[in-house]
Chain A
Amino acid sequence: MHIPDNYLSPSTCAALGAAVAPVWALSVKKVKKEITKAKMPLLGIGASFSFLMMMFNVPLPGGTTGHAVGGTLLAILLGPFSACISVSVALLIQALFFGDGGILSFGANCFNMAFVLPFVGYFVYKFIKDRVRTEKGEFIGIAVGSYIGINAAALCAAIEFGIQPLLFKDAAGHALYSPYPLSVSIPAMLIPHLLVAGVVEAVFTVAIFAFIKKVSPGTIYEGAKEKSKAIYGLLAALILMTPLGLLATGTAWGEWGADEIQEVVSNGQALGFIPQGMQNGFSFEAMMPDYSVGGIPEIAGYILSAVAGVALLLILFKIISSLKKANHSVHE
């Protein structure tokens, strides 16, 4: 579910980043209030826990393996606000040091996996747990919560992918970023998550929770009961705000509506006229006439290819000599 760079437009990334920022601010505030100073290191250690959780390969039927995200588990163990910070930091390290998920799409990834996943998972769990007050109810709550949590996150990612071809096209009607519309992206993301990843997540979450509850029941986060109503309200508000945040890309909103209607009416024939409006909305698009024609002066081209050629030769030479060295030491 880690969205790499260049699949989402920069403005979508910015909008999603802006949508997560208040959640981060609220989380830091909440965590400062809820967690004593003595427990502050737990945030970082929770982040490393969630990072390592993704390294755990779980056997799947058919001999393959998959991995869980563990967002709901962290939310249940540490509280949703701490989970939000921990997962965000884990995602940042993955993006910065391991190339897993993009730098620009960091906000989008945090929105899906550090906000939607733990919060939806946690509140579904809490909703069921507060109504079915038995141990079974608790476990059902965890299973359902983690299952719904990961699928909600996958749905958000699918929507983010799916709105790209509607919002961002070049003059010829070709998508500039992810080219698949909602009708493709939603099933492509949701079917594997509904069938496989969601089940893995639910089983893994329940199993770990059961283990911790048995071994050390005191360590599990106790959400404040009287506040739950306010939190439901907050969650509802945030969910309602989500599409607003997604579509807060300036002029694109109106054009998207027109574009969609146009597509429905004339079966995709009206592509020559809508992008004009989009060009006015985004100055950088107007600046670029055509990606394949706009060239550079011949001399600059020569210099560039010379630099690339020399660099390539150097790289080849270095790799070959390192391979030779490796061979040599093996023979010795």
Chain B
Amino acid sequence: MTAETRGAQPGPVRPKAKDVLVVLLSHQLPSDLERTMETWRSVVSADSLLLAYGGASSNFSKIDFEQKVFISDPRLRLRDQQREHQSWEGVVQAANDFLQNSAHQYLYLVEYDHIPLRGDLLDRLKERLLTEQADVIAHHLHRIDGTSSAHYLYHKNEGRFHDYFARISKRDEKGVILSMLGTGSFWKRKAFKAVAACEEPFPIYVELYLPTLAHHLGFRLRDLTDQNRFVMHLGDRGSEIEEARRQGAWTLHPVKTLPASFVRPL
């Protein structure tokens, strides 16, 4: 067990980052969500945590957390997220609305099954952003134009795809298409607000739309390379939590159900 886990000797309480807004996207039942929220509350204060709820509207009122917003966007609730071009437009707009009345300088977008393993997670992300001189850092960030990427080939079949980015691009090279994992992207306020100010022109899968748009608006994106092995797109890694912590993971994804033995980060 590491010094960062609950079983360690009690140390000074770590001050929580006040300038990062964590936007947590979940569709869990209120009973399951409670534990997820509790976990995030150990790394961020309640006033810097925004729950973007994509579950059933009947459950929304049962969630005992003040800072919550119901995402009604049907394009969030798709059976085949990739083929039907899942959109986080509703989530992005809800977060942007929240930012209008808050001074948060950074924003962290995470899904419910992406769990924090370090109490200083948000400080680490801020530091990495600074080190990389980036405006956005994300997991599995790749350039995919002209490649065999199935997502790219599927979107390129839509004639307007490249045209749209070429039209709005501030860069010389207008054909660049980026891809990232949806969960775990960390944004500077300015970059996020610039992306939120654009209206999605037609359905584009969120994992392509957000990074490519940010890139063409002139922002710098970098990959969280060393953390990527802890943040994969498939599986259930609930049994790997302590091992991942030992190996230096800041977060772990996907963890569909938190095991009873889970120790919240300190």
Q: Do A and B bind each other?
A: no
Tell me the B residues contacting A by CB distance below 8 Å. Answer: none
* A→B interface (CB under 8 Å): none
